[in-house]
Structure 1
């Protein structure tokens, strides 16, 4: 039986790269997207082209009913074996004192509440040997001063969630995190600085932003048998940051 993995935020960026690499590695994949149906359809075609089964589900991961629907749909592919908690948002870059309550609540809801809701479903449904990977951010350890301290704080909570769940769900389910650095994806457009990834190159030890496929490779490894003795770990993929 092929592994069956749920990926949140699988229509673009790191999520889309992860879905494609999972399919190439022999996974059947159910992924959700929030609004870009065209991008999701493209990813789904690539899953099928790799010879794997896939389902794309429009879902808001902050809504427990929609999260339940996502996992119900995924269950049609077979016994669930993995979850990639990836769906995330930032907010406009700027000073901490200018942060609005609306932006704060949206970042907390998507990046933390959504992760918790999806992890709960995974904890209930994954069998022995299952695995969860939470996508965090190097912001959790750097703090992101002058940009989005609140986002960094929520990603630090993601790391704590990873460690706590790894201990609580062991030995049945492994839980790890991946902590990307500055990755060249569309998320920077949403922050108001579309070229942020390349602007930041001079403060990255490796001298360039990362690629989504480089993060996806770490996620796929953590889900697989090669990482069978790895749990409670947050793996940085951050170019030395």
Structure 2
């Protein structure tokens, strides 16, 4: 196995300007990776991530990319290779959520959700499969909701079930490449995406479901991503649930 030193490894993180992606960006940078912060529109948040990394003597750049547009994804990877010489780790954390009972969900919302969460995973993983160097890792973000069967989450859960399936198959398609492919499936995590529209009572009820009796943090997920990105070379083709034991 040929795994390069973490001080010279390069990581692309989609959705890297906020939420779990932001925590992953900061964690990998602290581990010595050169990091490419992929973001869609919010340059201000991406710049804030870069500032945190640079203040800690890390090395990072930000590149705008729409994960649903294959040309944009190609440009993201091209930019990483131009700046840092190659790609070792790809963390696909970009995603959107639409909540409603199945009978009430606007199908236009469903189309957008599937385009971002499923097509986006395909587009990012295609480039990762072609470009990640030996000793590298591809890590997708799925969700523990694939086990919760929570009402109102049919569309989002279906999309994340697809992410898990893509992950398991890609791991087997990369046989012989010395590249691991895994998914992290967080439980309820205190991000802006999750907290939006929920009152304190609802949040307390959800937090109480786990034996650890709290919501997850973006840093909880980032710890697992960092493990899969670096030392966890014998973990491959798996979906790892990070939810405090809720299921």
Normalised TM-score (structure 2): 0.91
The answer for the alignment partner of 1:187 in structure 2 is 193
The answer for the alignment partner of 1:140 in structure 2 is 146
Q: Measure the CA separation in 1 of the matches of 2:160 and 2:198.
A: 20
1:162 to 157, 167, 183: 167
Would you identify which runs of 4 or more consecutive aligned residues in structure 1 move more than 6 Å? none
- The answer to whether 1:117 aligns with 2:128 is no
Contact 2:188 2:194 in 1 (8 A): no
Q: Measure the CA separation in 2 of the matches of 1:135 and 1:70.
A: 18
1:1-241 correspondence runs (5 A): 2-75=8-81, 76-91=83-98, 93-145=99-151, 147-172=152-177, 173-190=179-196, 192-193=197-198, 197-224=203-230, 226-241=231-246
Partner SS state of residue 235, structure 1 = strand
Q: Measure the CA separation in 2 of the matches of 1:197 and 1:33.
A: 28
Deviation of 1:150 (Å): 1.3
**How many equivalent residue pairs?**
237
The answer for the alignment partner of 2:4 in structure 1 is none
Q: Measure the CA separation in 2 of the matches of 1:87 and 1:52.
A: 22
Gap change, CA 1:197 and 1:79, over 3 Å in 2: farther
Partner SS state of residue 227, structure 1 = coil
Contact 2:53 2:59 in 1 (8 A): yes
List gaps (5 residues or longer) in structure 2.
1-6
Contact 1:28 1:77 in 2 (8 A): yes
Normalised TM-score (structure 1): 0.94
Per-residue deviation, residues 70-102 of structure 1 (Å, max 9, x unmatched): 1111112122101001101101x3211011111
Deviation of 1:189 (Å): 4.8
Q: Measure the CA separation in 2 of the matches of 1:96 and 1:201.
A: 24
Partner SS state of residue 211, structure 2 = coil
List gaps (5 residues or longer) in structure 1.
none
Deviation of 1:60 (Å): 1.1
Q: Measure the CA separation in 2 of the matches of 1:194 and 1:132.
A: 35
Contact 1:137 1:179 in 2 (8 A): yes
Partner SS state of residue 84, structure 2 = coil
In angstroms, what is the RMSD of aligned CA positions? 1.5
